[in-house]
Structure formats: C-alpha cells, structure tokens
Structure 1
Amino acid sequence: METTVDAEVVIVGAGPTGLMLAGELRLAGVDVVVLDRLAEASTESRGLGFTPRTMAVFAQRGLVDRFAALDVALRTTTRGHFGGLPLDFGVFAAACPAVVNLPQVNTEAMLRGWVADLGCEVRRGHEVVGVTDTAAAVEVQVDGPGGRLGLRARYLVGCDGGRSTVRVLAGFDFPGTPATLELFLADVRGCDIRPRFIGEWLPGGVAMAAPLGGGVDRVVVCERGAPPRKRAEPPAFSEVAAGWHRLTGEDISHGRPVWVSAFGDATRLATEYRRGRVLLAGDAAHVHLPAGGLGMNTGIQDAFNLGWKLAAVVRGRAPATLLDTYHDERHAVGKRLLDNTRAQGLLFLGGAEIQPLRDLIGELTHHEVVHRHLAGMVSGLEIRYPVGPGAHPLLGLCVPDLPLEHGAAATSVFPLLGAGRGLVLDLAEDESLRRSVRPWTDRVDVVTARLVDGGSIPKVDAALVRPDGHVAWAAPGGQEELSEALGRWFGPRTAESRE
C-alpha cells in the first residue's frame, strides 16, 4: 500500500553534492528530504581534498572548523597541476589554499553533521523507481525498507552520480563519448610506496601514489591501451597489483586493500540541467576523466549555485525563471570542465608522441599569463558568471575574503555570508545606497565597513554579493542601479515598500 509524504524539495543522493544542496536549502528554511539507495554511507573516497574555490565555499558557510570537530587536520597547499604539469595557485594572492590528501569520507562526514544540525532528514536504503513531473509537482516513487513510498515534491534534484536514475527516469539527454580505456584506483595498507603525487610517466602509462596517513596509500594505475570493461563488481586487488608491477616493476601484491575501484575516461554532459521541476547537479549532470580531482568540487559548486536560487523560488521570493540561470551558469562551467579534463587526459595519459606537447605547454607555464590561466581553470577561481551589465573587474567573480573593520570589530567578507543571504557591502558610508537596499532587507544584509587592506584588489566602494559569493553588482563601474540588480537576483521588493 502506498503512502504519500509531502516535501518541498526531494534530493536523490547523499554524497557531497546532495548534502551541500540540502544544507543550502535548510539555511533558507526549505523542507528537504534526501534519499539514498545505500543503507549505509559509503566508505569509498574517490575525492582527495578540494580546490581553492571549494575551500572558499566551505569558508563562506563557516564549515571549515567542522573538520576539527571530526579530529581531521586539513593539509593545505597552493600547489596544483594541469595534466601533471605543476602549477602554483599563489599567483592569485587573495585565494584560499587547496586542501590535499583528505579522503572524501571526511568531507561527507562534515557535511552530514552540518545538515543534521540544520534538521535535514536523510533516508537511507531508499531507491527511486519512478519520476513523474505533473507541472504542478513532481511525484517520486521509491522502494524503501517499508515497501513502496510515494513522495510528492515541488522540486526534485538528482545528485545521484554518473549513473543517475533521476536523469534516466526524467528523460534528460546525456550525450558524449564512451570510455576508451580502464584505470584502477585503490587504497592499500602495508605497502611502502614511493609517493608520486602528480603522477610519474612511464613507458607503459602513468603511476600515481599518495600517502593518506595511518599506513594507507592511494594508488592509481593508468596503463595505456587497457580496454574498458563492463564490470558488475569492483576489480580484484590482484588486478591492480599486476598493473602496478607492469608499470613500475614494484610488487605491492602483499598489501591489504581498503577498497578498490575501476574507472574510465567517458565524457558526457547533460544538454539541460533543468527540465520543469526536475534538476540535475554533480556527476548526474556531467561525467569525465577525474583529472585533478575536479568532479566532487564541481558538484559541490553546482549545489552552491543552485541552493539559494531554488530556495528563493520555493519560498515565493523569486520567479521560477531564476532557476534558468542555474542552467545558464553551470552548464557553461560543465562544458569547460569537460574540455579541461579532456586536455589534461591527453597530456597525462598520452604516450611518447605527446611528449613534445608536454614540453611546449610546460615551457608556456613559465609565462605568468599562461600560468594564471591554467591555475584559474583547475582551481575554479576563473569562473565568472554573466551577472549583468557593468565594467568592474570583480563583476561575476567570487568575492575575495577581504579584511574589514565593521564598527570596532575586525572581520572579513566570508563570515558575513554564513547565513546564506545576499550581502551589500557599503565601503564608502553611502546612505543612499543603504536606502536602496531597504526593500530587500528580508533577503539581503547590508554591512557598512572599512576595507583594511585591498592589496591587489581593484578599487571597490560597494558591492552586491550573491549568497554563492559571486559579485552581482559593484561600484564604481556599475552600469545599472543597485535596485535593478537586487530585483534581478532577489525578486521583487517587499509589498510594503512598493510605491
């Protein structure tokens, strides 16, 4: 017998993308149910740390300190790579550092604690078997421990990975190219493996290794010409050890695997991130070679872009057309991601015939403009959304964590974004600007402060910062009234303030 439970938003998938989205929606008071087909949280950790842009996402919500509560120390760095060619994110002086060698299970545990504190319900052992968009709502059929369950939601978001059930049931197109090779990944104990953090090119392919702590090493085996296989279960560790031996001549067969996985270089991108009341985020919307660990990061950033917009629509503060900007902004990022990882795959996995190209690009990275371009691409710091007219250099970019004096207190920009609301920074004590914001103060905070040290940041007297940290209006250089930008991103002014 079916029962019906109403929720404003149903999220399918309790990985980093789904949990990030759930937290964003709960910050705005949206009723959320998260479903996951696994009875227990996964112990596999495909992602190892996060990029500077994702570090900024966590900092903007005050989540970084939650790792310490889990007794997890964050190892940060300004170093990265593009297809194995070293890069330095320090070329962006105000950027957050990257976090490395942090297993994904720790990131998921942090996010689970956050959403639990926000009152979000996660239902495990629930598998979606039917999706119907009625235009008025989305009806979701779920097989769970108690039998068949019918959920009726205003919106459904598929965050359920590269083999997304939601994407298939809702009829999204997912074009691209199939895998051309198979690669192995394993976390293994009891092996004294020489670290190869960004990979070592060898005659037969590429070997990567990184110590994770506690006597565990991550190994990745990339043999050229290894054909893709359809597997019903993960490969045996003996296959990984054999491949490692063929590449390096080293014997790791005595190791004790924590977990083992196989993956490929399939590249696919959903043609649309939204179909009516059904949306996609993370790997459900895009799959690619996991070059540079960008998959989890992109999914978290998808959720960060979508969460406040979906909350505004659900709460009736903005029209549903605001959700179109989620597709417009993040689909472009997804396409860029696929191009980026394809290029990295050629550099990283290609044979001797690619060496002249590696040498040339490596030479070009010594030029600052090229170095900044590639570092911005793999760090997420280059992302600039088409937010509206204006000429200020910060427009559309993620706001830096500028140091501020607010009254007698010292602060910075990121802590002011912790509630997931819009933010107007008044850095020139402009009373007319503050008056312009009053009709939106139920959704937007106004902070008058003094910029302590702008460093290399372009001159800015005022800025409108969206809940996802991107600058939507800035002065000097704004080519529209602040009220127009507020209306575009935060909906109509409150009724009592209309003239």
Structure 2
Amino acid sequence: MDVDVVVVGAGPTGLMLVGELGQAGMRTLLLERRPEPSEMAKAGGLAGQILQLLHYRGELDRFREASIGPEPVPRFPFGGLHLDFTQLEDSPMRAMLVPQPRLEGLLAERAIERGVEVRRGHEVVGLRQDDDAVTVGVCGPDGAYEVTAHFLVGCDGGHSRVRDLAGIPFPGTSFPEIERLASVTVPDSVTVLDDGGLDVRGVGKIPFGYTATERGVFACSGMGGTMGVYTAEVEATEYDDDVPMTVAELSGSVSRVLGIDLPLGEPLRMARFGYSARQADTYRGGRVFLAGDAAHLFPAGGVAVNAGMLDAANLAWKLAGSVQGWAPPGLLDTYSDERRTAAERTLLHTRAQVALRQGYGPGGDALRALFLELTADEQPLRRLGALMAGTDVGSAVSAAQPLVGTCATDRALHVDHEDPRFAGLLRNGRPVLLDLADHAGLRDLGSDWGGRVEVASATIDERPADALLILPDARIAWAATVDEPRQTALPALREALTTWFGAPST
C-alpha cells in the first residue's frame, strides 16, 4: 500500500480533508490537476458552522489573522433580499473575510505541516478497486503512474473525474442563470450613500440591495472606498471557469440587466458563477468517497465552502478509524447518510432562494415583502440562520434528548460566542466526552476508550445536559439529561461509545 488515503482536488474541501487526515497520522497524498494554485477568488471567505468548528479546533485565530477585514455585520443575502441578524444578540450566522486563494494557501500550509504530500499538475485518469485497496491511475509531468491506497476521496468539484470513474450518478438541475459578483473601487462619478446605496452622476440614486427587472437581478452595496456589484441573468453562453471575468464583462451585464451604464473602479474581487442544484446518489462507492462540490452543488452563494469543509471534518476521523482498525461496522456508511441529509437541508433553502430572486413584477415583489415581514420575528429568523450556517442538519434523533444529532453551537451549550473555555476543545480532531456536572463515573467510562476519545470537564451556569459526547465535526452523538441517574446514564454512554468507536481499549 503506497499511502493510506488519496485525496483528489486542492480546493478548500480537499485541503481541509488532508489536513485532518494528516493530524490523525494518516499517510495522505493530495493530487491536483492544475499545476499552480488558482488566484481566482470564487469564494470571499468562511461562513457558518465551520467558524464554530475552527474555534473548537483552536485554529480560529490563525484564520482570523489571514482575513482582510473585520468580521462583517451579520446582514447576509438570501434570494434577492438581505436577512438582518443584527436584531439578535447571538447571530446564528457569521462570516470571516478570507478570499479563496488566501484560504487555500493557509489550508495547504496546515496540511504540509502535518506531513501531507501535495502533488500539483497530477491528473487522475483511472481507478479500480477491490475488497482490499483502490488503485488510482495518474498522469503527471513525468508520465503515467499508479498509486494504491486504502481509500480514495474525490474533492474535485462539480465536474468530478473521480465521481464519473466511480460510476456514481449526480442527478439534479442546472439553472440557465449566470451570476456575476465583484468588489471594485469607487470611481469619482459615484458617491456612496450612508445607507449603502449609490448616487451615480447622470443616473441618480441606486438603492442598496437587490433590484429585480424583467432582464434579471441587480444588487449593489457601498462601504467606504469600495462598492459591491452583483448581477444575475439568463444566458446561453458557457464560460470556462479558468477564464477570469473582466470589468468590461461585468459592465455589459449591468447594462443589460439594469439598463444603465454604471461606472466601475479598479477590480478588487471578480467572480462568475453558474448554479446547479445537484446531489450524488451516494457519497460512497466501495472504497471511493465524494466530498464538497463533487458530492453536492447548491444554487446560491456563501454555502459551498462551509458545507465542503464540514464534509471533510465528518469523513476524516472515520477513514482514520477504518485504517487503524478500531472502526465499528457501518461507521463509514454514516458519512454518506449524515452529510447527504445535511446537504438536503442546504438544497432546501438554496432552491427557495432561486424562487425568491427570480420572482419579477408585483407577484415577486409581494413574495419578497411577505418573506421579510416573517423574518422580522425571532424564530423564523433563527431557523433561516441555522439553515444558512449549516447547523440545521436534520431532526434530532432522540426525542428524550433533543441535543443528540444536532451541532454543538454556542446557543446549544448555553455559552457566549467564542467562549474561551471551549477554544481547542476538539484540538486533536478526536471526539470529546464533555462532563458538565462533575460526573466521575462518566469520565471513568470514557477513559476506557483512551486514544480514541478524549475526556474534558467544564462548568456552565445553566448547563444543557450533564454530559455530551461530541464528535470531531462538532455533532452531538450522545447526551445525559440534567440530573440523569447514574443507572441510566452509564449504560447509555457505553452503548454510544461502542456504537461510534468500537470495543473499549481497556
């Protein structure tokens, strides 16, 4: 066996995955067909639950140092609207400004520090597998060769070669819209208004936010010396993702959609997207797995990086357990089950965004106005925020303990945002039995799975449970209710530990 795991695709998902595998001690090889990292900022940063996970990993400050500005005010686009989470003391949705090239550079550094080998300019051209291994055919700068591994993971995007070679169907819908997003400097003929709108010489005022026309959707926002511009229009043209968008291309789209010539300054970030709503029938085909855009495509921005990196965090420890020999039967199958369910929730709200943003005329305006009225109430706003953040991953699996199956968010733990007590809680990428009630019996039982499960204690004024078993992707696998008797808590914990981590070590 040449390596333990081969990962294909050096985007955020693949780079996150190899970093997690490297930390677990896996011999990991990353293959990327492009000879050099892309400088195209398709994503503008991190958003949602991945930020919470990085806090638990103790790595959030490292990523924050790479950001290009302060944390954005929690007002986020949603289907041609902006959802305002500033009215909530604890916003369920947050973001960090780290352009994709910088994010990928940081993730690559993290992976190499953990012993991962990265080969750029190496393209996968074939694969075969049996009960013991998968063999990957590769074409590199020096010719063709093969690599054998326990597992192969395709993180190679919507046009995944790995998915095609594995014969995994990828049903869904491609939308005929082309969306363009840019941040540019403000030219002399444009004034940024206090409310974020623009005053254009010879044109007049353009309001902040989205404007639907019969030809598409336009949006703008101004802040200081920069302005954001967005368009969405139906086009038959097919664009090469490797060919960057130009200012002239964006200007032409604004003219078609809005019917004006909008002066644009120097480009700071330019991106073009074609959206689809697709999901692979399964994320596993034998020893071959899919993650990120290779597994799912969503028809809205701001969610793909979060979903892909959470895929990686869910999959890595399960692959490591299988290679190391302690994984119980069926553990690897839980990856496809859990992350497909989470993707269904993301598809639900992103498909709804398509309907919202495409509505034109009085009917579309009424739909958006009513939607905004509903989001003025706290509970609908929180629910939408959880969907956007990726913390709504489906229903809890236990009516008796509703935390089980959900994400360990600040709100779920009843703590403040980025509570320092939990920075690094999942530092080693292993599950943690978190004792919140000084329950020595539970801690002693958890230590029987030493090397696989870590044990930690904390005190919370209004604890949500006596103890939590938190998986490496921050999902809650088990919980003891407040003041639960020892005679029920201990057997339930033993069952959960055995289900997820096999027989005890001692």
Residue 51 of structure 1: aligned partner? 47
- Moved >6 Å (runs of 4+): none
User: Aligned partners of 1:290, 1:436: CA distance in 2, in Å?
Assistant: 45
Q: Provide the residue aligned with 1:350 in structure 2.
A: 359
Contact 2:176 2:274 (C-alpha < 8 Å) held by counterparts: yes
- For the residue of structure 2 that corresponds to 1:303, the secondary structure is helix
Alignment of 1:177-216 (within 5 A): 177-186=173-182, 188=184, 191=187, 199-203=209-213, 204-209=215-220
Q: How does 1:119-158 map to 2 (within 5 A)?
A: 119-158=115-154
Q: 1:361: which partner in 2?
A: 371
- Structure 2 match to 1:107: 103
> Paired residue for 2:316, among 275, 289, 307?
307
User: 1:123 offset after TM fit, Å?
Assistant: 0.8
What's the offset of the Cα at 1:219?
3.1
Q: Is the 8 A contact 1:49 1:98 kept in 2?
A: no
What does residue 227 of structure 1 align with?
235
Match of 1:14 in 2: 10
Q: Measured at CA, do residues 258 and 369 of structure 1 come closer, stay the same or move farther in structure 2, by a change above 3 Å?
A: closer
Partner of 2:497: 486
Does the CA-based 8 Å contact 2:178-2:272 persist in structure 1? Answer: yes
Unaligned runs of 5+ in 2: 198-206
Q: Distance in 2 between matches of 1:119 and 1:44?
A: 27
Once the 2 structures are TM-superposed, how far is the Cα of residue 248 of structure 1 from its aligned partner? 3.9
SS at match of 1:440: coil
Partners of 1:198 and 1:133 in 2: CA distance: 54
Query: Are the counterparts in 1 of residues 211 and 219 from structure 2 also a CA contact under 8 Å?
Result: no
- The one-letter amino acid paired with 1:369 is Q
Distance 1:288 1:429 in 2: 43
Unaligned runs of 5+ in 1: 405-409
Task: State how 1:449-460 maps to structure 2 within 5 Å.
Answer: 449-451=458-460, 453-454=461-462, 458=464, 460=465
Aligned-pair distance for 1:350?
2.3
Q: Distance in 1 between matches of 2:152 and 2:268?
A: 34
Residue pair 1:130, 1:140 contacting (<8 A) in 2 also:
yes
Deviates more, 1:17-26 or 1:261-270: 261-270
Equivalent residue, structure 2, for 1:284: 294
Which 10-residue stretch deviates more, 12-21 or 174-183?
174-183
Deviation at 1:367, TM superposition (A): 2.7
Deviates more, 1:347-356 or 1:247-256: 247-256
For residues 166 and 91 of structure 1, do their structure 2 counterparts lie closer, same or farther at Cα, with a shift above 3 Å needed?
Answer: farther
2:56 paired residue number = 60
Distance 1:251 1:103, change over 3 A: farther
Residue 208 of structure 2 contacts residue 219 of structure 2 at CA under 8 Å; is this kept in 1? yes
**Equivalent residue for 2:21, pick from 19, 22, 25:** 25
**Residue pair 1:11, 1:33 contacting (<8 A) in 2 also:** yes
Change in 2 beyond 3 A, CA 1:190/1:370:
closer
Judged with a 3 Å threshold, the aligned counterparts in structure 2 of structure 1 residues 396 and 254 are, in CA distance, closer, same or farther, namely: closer
**Deviation of the 1:428 alpha carbon:** 1.9
Distance 2:246 2:381 in 1: 40
CA-CA distance at 1:202 after TM superposition? 3.7
Matched residue, 1:298: 307
Q: Check whether the contact 2:212–2:357 (CA below 8 A) recurs between aligned residues.
A: no
1:380-395 matches, within 5 Å, as: 380-384=390-394, 389=398, 391-395=400-404
Contact 1:77/1:100 (<8 A) preserved: no
- In the superposition, the TM-score normalised over structure 2's length comes to 0.86
For the 8 Å contact 2:218–2:231, the answer to whether it is kept is yes
Superposed displacement of residue 208, structure 1: 3.2
Paired with 1:130 and 1:66, the residues of 2 have a C-alpha distance of 37
**Matched residue SS, 1:338:** helix
- Could you tell me the percent identity over the aligned residues? 40
Shift of 1:216: 6.5
Match among 31, 34, 37 for residue 35 of structure 1: 31
Q: How many pairs does the alignment contain?
A: 477
- Asked if the contact 1:102–1:212 (Cα under 8 Å) also holds between the matched residues in 2, the reply is no
Distance 1:78 1:253 in 2: 28
Aligned partner (choices 466, 469, 475) of residue 464 of structure 1 = 469
1:407 counterpart residue number: none
Q: What's the offset of the Cα at 1:52? A: 3.0
The SS at the match of 1:363 is: helix
Query: What is the TM-score with the length of structure 1 in the denominator?
Result: 0.87
1:274 aligns with 2:279: no
Contact 1:95 1:400 in 2 (8 A): no
SS in 2 for 1:123: strand
Secondary structure of the residue aligned to 1:200 is strand
Q: Partners of 1:235 and 1:52 in 2: how far apart? A: 27
Cα 1:128–1:189, aligned 2, differ >3 Å: closer, same or farther? farther
> Does structure 1 retain, via aligned residues, the 8 Å contact 2:93–2:386?
no
Instruction: State the SS of the aligned residue for 1:178.
Output: strand
- The CA distance in 2 between the partners of 1:490 and 1:13, in whole Å, is 29
CA distance in 2 between counterparts of 1:254 and 1:374 reads 33
Q: State the alpha-carbon separation in 2 of the partners of residues 258 and 76 from structure 1.
A: 17
In structure 2, C-alpha distance between the alignment counterparts of 1:447 and 1:236, rounded to whole Å: 52
Moved more, 360-369 or 410-419: 410-419
Offset of residue 103 of structure 1: 1.6
The aligned amino acid for 2:101 is V
Q: What's the counterpart of residue 388 of structure 2?
A: 378
Provide the C-alpha distance between the structure 2 equivalents of 1:198 and 1:56, rounded to a whole number of angstroms: 30
**Which of 295, 313, 325 is residue 334 of structure 2 equivalent to?**
325
Note the C-alpha offset of 1:90: 6.2
Structure 1 match to 2:161: 165
